[in-house]
Amino acid sequence: MSPIIGVLALQGDVREHLAALRASGARATTVRRTTELSEVDGLVIPGGESTTISRLLESFELLEPLRRRIADGMPAYGSCAGMILLASKVLDGREDQHQLGGLDVIVRRNAFGRQVDSFEDDLAFDGVDGPPVHAVFIRAPWVESASPQVEVLARVSDDPDVPGGQVAAGRIVAVRQGPVLATAFHPELTGDTRVHRLFVQMVEGRSRERPLEVGNNETQEGRT
Ligand code: GLN
């Protein structure tokens, strides 16, 4: 039986995620209430505006139930604003914006914005086979630093003249920590479902587990 994956439907590009999940073999449904949250095997937190989604999580009384499910190990995938919400800490956020946790990273909100609001690039993505992933960034965050438990899956250059697929170092834009996946970009907008398929496999528990690195307390940084 295919897993039931929810898409948090308070704000953002919900429809596109539902379509990408269904195309990836999952049963997909919207989540706006705690009862709906309790029925899903995993959850996508879409892009939109993290401050708005944070406020709506409070008014829909979903903030604590969602924190609890994530702490209990429910697989979650956040794209863009979703990545910001899953991070343990946000830079350039609003003081009253809430974090869901699940990802031991520091993200910088609207990080590329000082140079350019939106851009696209082709990225090598660890765990996704085939050609590079075409990544659409819209007022995107980047991961400023990540704890050693976090796997870095993709990076992009923050220099518009350097193609992202060719940088070994660069800004961190896709990460995974156990059952939690996040991208700073929007795979749901491109018709390429490989990132959603990766998440569906994570929910199905079929993806390979990687050993935790121990004895290394240095954080990983994204720099070109
Ligand atoms: N800049 C938005 C935020 O801070 C994220 C943009 C997006 O999700 N496309 O939440």
Q: What is the pLDDT of residue 219?
A: 67
The two tokens of residue 35 are 């009862």
Residue 104 to residue 217: CA distance in whole angstroms: 12
The two tokens of residue 59 are 């008014």
According to DSSP, the β-strands at 220-221 and 142-146 are: antiparallel
The DSSP line for 118-174 is EEEEEE--TT--SSPEEEEEES--EEEEE-TTSEEEEEE-SSTTS-GGG-SSBEEEE
**Residue of 86, 110, 117, 136 to mutate, ligand 1, most atoms within 8 A of C-beta:** 110
Q: What is the pLDDT of residue 157?
A: 79
Catalytic residue flag (residue 196): no
Which residue minimizes the CA distance to atom 2 of ligand 1?
Answer: 49
Binding site membership of 79 for ligand 1 (Cβ less than 6 Å): no
Q: Higher model confidence: residue 43 or residue 207?
A: 43
Binning pLDDT at 50, 70 and 90, where does residue 113 land?
Answer: confident
pLDDT digits (tens, 9 = 90+) for 67-89: 999 999 999 999 999 999 999 99
Binning pLDDT at 50, 70 and 90, where does residue 117 land?
Answer: confident
Binding site membership of 97 for ligand 1 (Cβ less than 6 Å): no
Binning pLDDT at 50, 70 and 90, where does residue 208 land?
Answer: very low
Amino acid at 140: A
Closest to 77 in 3D by CA, of 167, 5, 172: 5
Would you say 125 and 176 are in contact if contact means Cβ atoms under 8 Å apart?
no
CB neighbour list of residue 11: distance below 8 Å, 6 or more residues apart: 46, 48, 49, 52, 53, 56
Q: What is the pLDDT of residue 215?
A: 43
Average of per-residue pLDDT values in the chain: 90
Catalytic residue flag (residue 80): yes
Domain positions in the chain are 4-223
pLDDT over threshold 90, residue 207 = no
**Residue of 17, 50, 100, 108 to mutate, ligand 1, most atoms within 8 A of C-beta:** 50
Q: To 5 degrees, how large is the angle CA 191–CA 69–CA 17?
A: 10
Q: What top-level class would CATH report for the domain 4-223?
A: alpha beta
